[in-house]
Structure 1
Amino acid sequence: MLHTDWTTDDTAARRDAYYAASLTKFVPFREPLVFKKGQMQYLWDVEGRKYTDLLGMNLCISVGHSHPSVVEAAMSQAQELTHCTTMFYHPVPAHFAEELAATMPKGPNGDLKWVVHFTNSGSEAIDLAMTMARTYTGNLDLLALRTAYHGPTAAAQSITGIAGWRHPGMPGNVAFVAEPNQYRGIFGATTQPYLDEIERTIQSATTGRIAGMFIEPVQGYGGIIPMPPGYLTGAAERVRAAGGLYVADEVQSGFGRTGDHMWGFEADEAIPDIVVMAKGIGNGFPLGAVVARKHIAAPMAEKFMFHTYGANPTCCAAGRAVLQVIAEDKVQQNAKDVGGALLERLSDLQQRHPSIGDVRGRGLMLAVEIVKDRKTKEPDKAATATVFEACRDAGLILSKSGPHQSVLRIVPPMCLSMDDVEGVADGLDAAFSSLNA
């Protein structure tokens, strides 16, 4: 058996010595934190200290750390056949594809047909959706939102609207439009000007014919920015009028996290042409998928395209168990109820702490934005860092996000309970109080 040293100092030294420099930005705290165990919404470090996970390990943990149903399904499959390449048939991914397709809207006439392409990750799923949209439409230009985050691969970076995630060498043919941020958007809190901007951008920054537009129904890393009512429908109309497809990125907002619906896009009337999903799909197992209208995916058959571990039966077994847990444990309703209660407590904190400029979100996809002044709304990165460290001291794990790293992103496993709400609120209260200490 391989020896694993769980001490904090040895683990940190080993990581610092052998991890590439590209991973240094992912170290969130000033001092190393080494986790050893997770159970549902809680984590324990190597010293045995317990934390409430408000990050869901970057939203990958949807129904709970080491959820017994998910672990059992994956272990059972791994013991029988750990991997089977996509070129061969296997019942587990085939059943999973059917079950995922069944979660999609049927359309006004009940005749929409959906198909699934499994990938290894959300970034690969985004890359595939970009290729699929360009193949189907024959157009190259894509639209994306400012402050959007779609992934770190070269193609996914090209439609990511945050400078800190954009590296040299990204492909082109992407134009960005203003995100309809209801707190600090450049056109204020009305929807129509943001829709008008889509038309202007198509006319000025593209050939006039586009492949599609990628939209997160609730922007995740960008700071938990929900799309306002009517925006998705209006955007889809304008994009389709220019020959393009409406692509919903549900990597962070999907699987019931927003509370009211299984998918974030369902908050509006427009049905996407392509839906991208990952993270919570596997509850920690590496898995992603592109779910597309069948006729839109059909032209991809003209050339080879597959992802080595995309239809891995062990991961797909975990994915099937996740869908079952979501239904049986009423996870979506829990996200709505607990998220609503937590949002109320965050609003209370906003009244007591002037550094909180805004609280927002849907279900268990919430945010606290920290500012220097509520009138100017100037982001306060330094205060965010202070509160963030204090949250660790209070036993809360969350993340700094947004283009200015001034937003606390609260996206816990969706098993967070009503019993946790007061403890989370008290911990945040203490963390914000540290600003005046």
Structure 2
Amino acid sequence: MSGGLGPLPWGYVRRFGRVVFRQQQWKSTVSTHPKMPPCDFVPEKYKSYPYERIQKIREQNISPSLRMYYKKPLLLHQGHMQWLFDYEGRRYLDLFAGIVTVSVGHCHPKVTVATQKQLARLWHTTNIYMHPSIHEYAEKLASLFPDPLKVIYLTNSGSEANDLAMFMARLHTHNFDIISFRGSYHGGSPYTLGLTSIGPYKHGVANGFGCSTGVNGAVQYPRSFLKEAYQLVQERGGVCISDEVQTGFGRTGSHFWGFQTHDVVPDIVTLAKGIGNGFPMAAVVTTKEIANSLAQNLHFNTFGGSPLACVVGAAVLDAIEEDGLQKNSRDVGTYMLLELAKLRDKFEIVGDVRGKGLMIGVEMVTDKHSRHPLPAEEINQIWEDCKDMGVLLGRGGLYNQTFRIKPPMCITKKDVDFAVEVFHTALQRHMERAAK
């Protein structure tokens, strides 16, 4: 057997693509709980509704389509950088960053102070007037893009940004068809759902076009693939849209934008999530020529580019630069990939460890030979074990078989050591259960 669990003195047999142990039970080396790195932040005491009342309100007054993680959903109370605290004061290492949204850290002090100052000055005025924040931020954001990507339209969410990008592309080219990747997710609006082919997001309502990579578990493109694909599209009069909602703002480590890794310049770029560190804002960045196509008629956004949003966005850019978070994503992300790769070599059910920077996928399989997805109930138990030991992971993939690791970019190597030890412990516990 290549990779896998290594030599086992008590022997094993393979049955139905699974590893089954015999002669002797799996010998546990599992510690009760790996020790968390220290954190000097003390959360406030929780003073809101009891857990049971929160749960009842959720059942009665919150849309059932908004599903929650874990058998007993977490009731979170406060956050500090890479840490989250629940209503009972338990601390969790957040390796999913509010679905890849908290870029510089929960309640980052620099972003918090900038937001508080602007809250006392001016929350909102629409773009029928000028205010300094949007102009200062637009100039700062545009400086991070290569020519000719210098025109910015600010919106409220990634779905809205991708909607607008598709609309711009169609106005500019007078073509309708759009190609996207299998396993992609580009938003939850009716327009963007046409780009998505992940079953749980489909509602049986026609929404046109598309075959529909971040949600598929940090799958990287083959070398030169994207460059050749761009060339084929642009030669035929099409435009190329790069969805940087998850890959942008230095998360991949080597570059500030994911498309730069592939030596291409898209025609339109969409941004969200990490752009505001959790504040609801997003953007479309494009060329003057394409932007002018939208200017043929009025297109207006009430809240996009508000004074508050622009101050938050500028503070996030400052924090990324001043805290060295792109470099941290590269250094800590590479370290984490190498540490997780050791678990891939040790455990037969870890089929793949992949990614770049702090955008990592760990694919779970029944065995490395068949590469069938590990059954949901087994993945769920590993996932629950990690949570119980203080580590929060995301899930993705066509069969929900891939753990998504995309933490705030302020995470440290000590945090990684803790997270990998927790994951290792959860995998060992799984093997113990499988051996019984």
How does the TM-score come out when normalised to structure 1?
0.86
Deviation at 1:170, TM superposition (A): 4.3
- Indicate whether 1:391 and 2:427 are aligned: no
What one-letter code is carried by the residue in structure 1 that aligns with 2:298? F
Which 5+ residue runs of structure 2 have no aligned equivalent? 1-45
Which 5+ residue runs of structure 1 have no aligned equivalent? 107-111, 178-218
CA distance, structure 2, for counterparts of residue 310 and residue 175 of structure 1: 27
What one-letter code is carried by the residue in structure 1 that aligns with 2:267? D
RMSD of Structure 2 on Structure 1 (CA): 1.4
CA distance, structure 2, for counterparts of residue 366 and residue 156 of structure 1: 24
Instruction: Give the match for residue 132 of structure 1.
Output: 168
CA distance, structure 2, for counterparts of residue 143 and residue 90 of structure 1: 38
Q: Secondary structure at the match of 2:245?
A: coil
- Indicate whether 1:223 and 2:223 are aligned: no
Deviation at 1:308, TM superposition (A): 1.9
Q: How do residues 75-90 of structure 1 correspond to structure 2 at under 5 angstroms?
A: 75-90=116-131
Aligned residues: 386
- Indicate whether 1:363 and 2:357 are aligned: yes
Instruction: Give the match for residue 311 of structure 1.
Output: 305
What one-letter code is carried by the residue in structure 2 that aligns with 1:94? H
Whose radius of gyration is greater, 1 or 2?
Answer: 2
- Indicate whether 1:149 and 2:185 are aligned: yes
Instruction: Give the match for residue 349 of structure 1.
Output: 343
Tell whether the 8 Å contact from 1:77 to 1:317 is kept in structure 2 after alignment: yes
Instruction: Give the match for residue 205 of structure 2.
Output: 169
Deviation track 1:277-305 (CA, whole Å, cap 9, x = no partner) reads 00000001000000001111111001121
Q: Secondary structure at the match of 2:398?
A: coil
What one-letter code is carried by the residue in structure 2 that aligns with 1:360? R
Instruction: Give the match for residue 213 of structure 1.
Output: none
CA distance, structure 2, for counterparts of residue 287 and residue 279 of structure 1: 7
Higher helix share: 1
CA distance, structure 2, for counterparts of residue 406 and residue 317 of structure 1: 38
> Which 4+ stretches in 1 moved above 6 angstroms?
none
How does the TM-score come out when normalised to structure 2?
0.86
- Indicate whether 1:251 and 2:245 are aligned: yes
What one-letter code is carried by the residue in structure 2 that aligns with 1:89? M
Q: Secondary structure at the match of 2:295?
A: helix
CA distance, structure 1, for counterparts of residue 356 and residue 320 of structure 2: 17
Q: Secondary structure at the match of 2:259?
A: helix
Instruction: Give the match for residue 430 of structure 1.
Output: 425
CA distance, structure 2, for counterparts of residue 4 and residue 431 of structure 1: 33
Deviation at 1:395, TM superposition (A): 0.3
Of 112, 115, 121, the residue aligned with 1:74 is: 115
Deviation track 1:205-242 (CA, whole Å, cap 9, x = no partner) reads xxxxxxxxxxxxxx211211122221111110111122
Deviation at 1:45, TM superposition (A): 0.5
- Indicate whether 1:289 and 2:324 are aligned: no
Q: How do residues 11-30 of structure 1 correspond to structure 2 at under 5 angstroms?
A: 11-23=54-66, 26-30=67-71
Deviation at 1:171, TM superposition (A): 3.1
- Indicate whether 1:9 and 2:52 are aligned: yes
Of 328, 335, 349, the residue aligned with 1:334 is: 328
Deviation track 1:28-50 (CA, whole Å, cap 9, x = no partner) reads 10002111110000011111111
Tell whether the 8 Å contact from 2:194 to 2:210 is kept in structure 1 after alignment: no
Change (3 A) 1:231 1:56: same
Of 258, 267, 275, the residue aligned with 1:273 is: 267
Structure 1 residues 61-70 or 224-233, which shifts more?
224-233
CA distance, structure 1, for counterparts of residue 76 and residue 417 of structure 2: 24
Q: Secondary structure at the match of 1:131?
A: helix
- Indicate whether 1:92 and 2:114 are aligned: no
Deviation at 1:384, TM superposition (A): 1.6
Q: How do residues 410-429 of structure 1 correspond to structure 2 at under 5 angstroms?
A: 410-429=405-424
Of 404, 409, 413, the residue aligned with 1:409 is: 404
Deviation at 1:6, TM superposition (A): 4.3
Tell whether the 8 Å contact from 2:279 to 2:309 is kept in structure 1 after alignment: yes
